[in-house]
Structure 1
Amino acid sequence: MTGKFVASCKEELEVRNCGFAHLPAEEFVKSQWQTRTKSIFFLLYRLALAIFFTGVVINSVVVAVERGEFSKYFIYLTHWGILLCMGTTIMGAILVMVWHFHPEYSEKVCNSDEMPNAFKIYWMLHNITLILSVCITIIYWAILHNESMPVDPNNILIHACNCVFMFLDLIIVAYPVRIWHVLQPITFGLVYCIFSVIYYAADGTDR
Structure 2
Amino acid sequence: MLHTLSKEFTCKSFSLRSTKDEKDLFTKSQWSDSTRWFLVYRLSIWLYQLSWSVGYIIYLQIHYPDRLNRIHRYFTSWADVMTVLYYSAALGICVVSAHYRKTNQIENKPLRCLRSLTWFLHTVVINSSVIVMLIFWIFVSAKFKEEKLRNVFNIHRHAVNSVLVFVDFCVVATPVRLMHVVYGYIYGLTYAFATVLMYWLGDTPTVYKFLNWEDHPGKAVVVSLIVGIVVPTVLHFCFFMLHLVKMRVAEHCTKCTSAKDHVVSTPREENSKETLV
Asked if Structure 1 and Structure 2 have the same fold, meaning a TM-score greater than 0.5 normalized by the shorter chain, the answer is yes
Q: TM-score range by the shorter chain?
A: 0.7 to 0.9
In the alignment, the residues of structure 2 paired with residue 30 and residue 59 of structure 1 have an alpha-carbon distance, to the nearest angstrom, of: 29
Matched, 1:195 2:191: no
Post-superposition CA distance 1:73-98 (Å, at most 9, x none): 11111111111111110111122122
The within-5 A match list for 1:93-172 is 93-103=91-101, 108-109=106-107, 116-146=112-142, 147-148=144-145, 149-172=148-171
1:67 corresponds, among 64, 69, 72, to: 64
1:13 to partner: Cα distance = 1.7
Aligned residue for 1:31? Answer: 29
1:123 to partner: Cα distance = 0.3
Aligned residue for 1:40? Answer: 36
Max radius of gyration: which structure? 2
Alignment check: 8 A CA contact 2:28 2:38 kept? yes
In the alignment, the residues of structure 1 paired with residue 42 and residue 118 of structure 2 have an alpha-carbon distance, to the nearest angstrom, of: 13
Distance of aligned partners of 1:171 and 1:105 in 2 relative to their CA distance in 1, 3 Å threshold: farther
**TM-score of the two chains, using structure 2 as the length reference:** 0.66
5+ residue gaps, structure 2: 208-277
In the alignment, the residues of structure 2 paired with residue 48 and residue 124 of structure 1 have an alpha-carbon distance, to the nearest angstrom, of: 21
Aligned residue for 1:51? Answer: 47
Distance of aligned partners of 1:134 and 1:45 in 2 relative to their CA distance in 1, 3 Å threshold: same
Alignment check: 8 A CA contact 1:30 1:173 kept? yes
Matched, 1:10 2:1: no
2:68 partner amino acid: F
2:46 partner amino acid: A
**TM-score of the two chains, using structure 1 as the length reference:** 0.87
Distance of aligned partners of 1:8 and 1:50 in 2 relative to their CA distance in 1, 3 Å threshold: same
1:22 to partner: Cα distance = 2.4
In the alignment, the residues of structure 2 paired with residue 103 and residue 50 of structure 1 have an alpha-carbon distance, to the nearest angstrom, of: 22
Helix, strand or coil at the partner of 2:150: coil
Alignment check: 8 A CA contact 1:56 1:82 kept? no
In the alignment, the residues of structure 2 paired with residue 106 and residue 132 of structure 1 have an alpha-carbon distance, to the nearest angstrom, of: 37
Alignment check: 8 A CA contact 1:31 1:173 kept? yes
Aligned length: 196
Post-superposition CA distance 1:98-148 (Å, at most 9, x none): 222442567524xx9xx8111011100111111111100111011110252
1:67 partner amino acid: Y
Aligned residue for 1:176? Answer: 175
5+ residue gaps, structure 1: none
In the alignment, the residues of structure 2 paired with residue 80 and residue 106 of structure 1 have an alpha-carbon distance, to the nearest angstrom, of: 38
C-alpha root-mean-square deviation of aligned residues, in Å?
A: 1.9
Matched, 1:84 2:88: no
Helix, strand or coil at the partner of 1:175: coil
In the alignment, the residues of structure 2 paired with residue 167 and residue 137 of structure 1 have an alpha-carbon distance, to the nearest angstrom, of: 12
In the alignment, the residues of structure 2 paired with residue 84 and residue 21 of structure 1 have an alpha-carbon distance, to the nearest angstrom, of: 20
In the alignment, the residues of structure 2 paired with residue 165 and residue 32 of structure 1 have an alpha-carbon distance, to the nearest angstrom, of: 16
Larger relative contact order, structure 1 or 2 (CA cutoff 8 Å, min sep 6): 1
